[in-house]
Amino acid sequence: MAEPVYRRVVVKLSGEYFAGTHSFGMDQPTIDRIAGDLIAAKQLGVEVAVVVGGGNMVRGVEVSSRGVSRPTGDTMGMLATVMNCLALEAAIERRGAPARTLSAFVMPQICELFTRGAAHKYLAEGRIVLLGGGTGNPFFTTDTTAVLRAAEIGAQAVLKATNVDGVYSADPKKDPSAKRFDRLTHSQAIEGGYKVMDATAFALARETSLPIIVFSIAEPGSIGAILRGTGHGTIVAG
């Protein structure tokens, strides 16, 4: 078996993916499958932290369009990410692997507050660390959260799990002629306006020299394949 390319990573998971084939909520078989993939990745000898979105329950932009202020809507979305992390933590631990949810918000009855020290400690203990609550601030996406937390904890890469196998020049589901890129620089990703990740996340990754690997989570084992360097995705680096 190939040695992993990275030894500590942040995996960014879409909240919408947690809904499975449904338009809303949590699909337990989907969450269980993701839990298995994360455990398999950890068994390669990789320290794994995870940032999950909240779009399967609340999206701040959508809520704010209905009369709620944007900061309040974003806070609701960040709380949804904590719920997703707790669901994923439970799925991981049911399979016999240790996990710990850390939140950007103080909520001691529910989970521990994120600190760099706590994240380092639990990763070193072999736990899968689930990072909820976004950045703790409105107007920032969980894509930006993933890059920020990766930089804070000294991760070597951000693995952006999507429903497509990389970065395309256009939506390949709508444009059959869309070009897929094997590799891009951070600047090219920003200038191209590719929607797979927001510009703030790409800019922070460029500033902190963090590679981002964009890949499809649809295939079981895809996280491990990316870590072994055998997976199919787009590398955004340099």
Among candidates 227, 78, 94, which has minimal Cα distance to 145?
78
Pairing relationship of beta strands 180-181 and 167-168 according to DSSP bridges? antiparallel
pLDDT in tens, the chain (238 residues): 578 999 999 999 999 999 999 989 999 999 999 999 999 999 999 999 999 999 999 887 787 777 889 999 999 999 999 999 999 999 999 999 999 999 999 999 999 999 999 999 999 999 999 999 999 999 999 999 999 999 999 999 999 999 889 999 988 888 989 999 999 999 999 999 988 899 999 999 999 999 999 999 998 999 999 999 999 999 999 8
Taking the domains of the chain in order of start, what are their residue ranges? 8-236
Q: In 67-208, which residue ranges form alpha helices assigned H by DSSP?
A: 70-94, 116-124, 142-153, 186-192, 199-208
Cα angle, residue 9 at apex, residues 56 and 237 outer, rounded to 5°: 95
Handedness of CA 145, 146, 150, 153 (dihedral sign): positive
- 216 CB burial (10 A radius; 0-12, 13-18, 19+): middle
Kindly report the CATH class assigned to 8-236.
Answer: alpha beta
